[in-house]
Amino acid sequence: MSINSINLDALIRIVPVLIKSNSSFSSLGSISHSEKNMLVFLESSKFISKALRNPEISCILTNSEIAEKLPNIYGIAISDNPRYDFFSIHNYLALETDFYWQDFESRISKNVSIHPTAYVASKNVVIGDGSIIEANVNILDNVIIGENVIIRSGSTIGSQGFEFKRIKNEIMSIAHAGGVKICDRVEIQANCAISKAIFGGFTEIGKDTKLDNLVHVAHNVKIGSRCLIAASATISGSSIIGDDVWIGPNSCISNEITVGDGAEITIGSVVVQNVPSLTRVTGNFAIDHKKFLSLTKIMRRYSNYT
C-alpha cells in the first residue's frame, strides 16, 4: 500500500493541468471510495454533493466550471478532460513509480506445500504457515496469503482486473496497482480468479471463507469471514460482502453492492441493489425471497407454465 504523499502541483509534470489551489494526496479513487487523503476526478456537477459528503477526499481534478463551485478546503486542479488526465496520472504512478507499492522479495513459510507446476511471483508475495498451493495455480505479485489457506488447482490470484475507459475515441487500459489479501483458513477451489485492487489497497477474502469452483472476485471487493460462495458466482468490482453470507451457484452481484451479515443470495440471482443483513433474496433482478415466490405463483396462475 502507498506510504507516499504527493503535492497537487507536482501533477503538471505528468498531465497538462492548472492548479487552482494546492494540497497533497496519498491515494487515488472514485468519489464513492474511502481510502485516506484521496485525489478524485469530477466531470459532472450532479456529483458535487456526493463528493462533498466524502471526508476522505483532499484533492479534486475537475473542469473550470465545476472548480468555481467547490469550496477552498480542497486542492483543486483544472483539466480540459478530467477523466483522461486522472487515469493518465494513475497509470503513470502505478507503472513508473513506487507510489502505490514498495517491492520486496517474496516470503514463503517453510511448511507451505507448493505443487511443482504452480507459479509464485518472486516479488511481493507472502504465504503463511500451513498453506497449500495445488497444481497450475498462479500467485501473481502483490498477494498476501495467511495461514492454513488452500488454493485448489488452476486458480489465479492477483490478476489484472477488467477496467477499461472509453476516452478520446480510444479504449484506455487501467493499471491495477493494489493487491489481494487472503486471510487465515480460506479455501479457494478449482479455477477461481481473484483480481487485485486498482488504486492500491487490497481485494480481501476474510477468515474461514470458502469459494467453490469457477468463482470470480473482481477488483476492490471486500468479502467478510465465514462466507460460503458456490460455483460460478460473480462478485463485481468494489462490492462489500459481510460476514456469514451465502451466495448461491451462478449468482451475479453487481458493482458497488453491499450485502449485509448473514444474508442469503439464492441460486442464479442477479443482485443490483444492496441486501440488508439476514435477508434472503431471489431472482433476476433479485428481490425478497418470499415476495419472489408470491410473484411466481401469480405468474403461473395466468400462464401455461406449471
C-alpha cell read off for 289: 425471497
Q: What secondary structure letter does DSSP report for 47?
A: G
Strand 179-182's sheet: what is its strand order? 107-108, 125-127, 143-145, 179-182, 202-205, 222-223, 240-241, 258-259
Q: Return the sign of the alpha-carbon dihedral for residues 7, 11, 13, 17.
A: negative
90 has catalytic annotation: no
Angle among Cα 198, 199, 203 to the nearest 5 degrees reads 55
Q: Give the helix, strand, coil percentages of the chain, each rounded to 5.
A: 15, 35, 50
Is residue 265 within 8 Å of residue 281, measured between CB atoms? Answer: yes
Residues 6 or more apart in contact with residue 8 via CB below 8 angstroms: 19, 22, 23, 24, 25, 39, 59, 75, 76, 77
Set 90, 115, 219, 289: catalytic member = 219
189, HSE (Cβ side, Cα atoms, 13 Å): 13
CA 232 – CA 213 distance, rounded (Å): 7
The separation between the first and the last C-alpha atoms of the chain, rounded to the nearest angstrom, is 55
Antiparallel, parallel or unpaired: β 234-235 and 156-159: unpaired
- How many residues in total does the chain contain? 306
- List the catalytic residues: 219
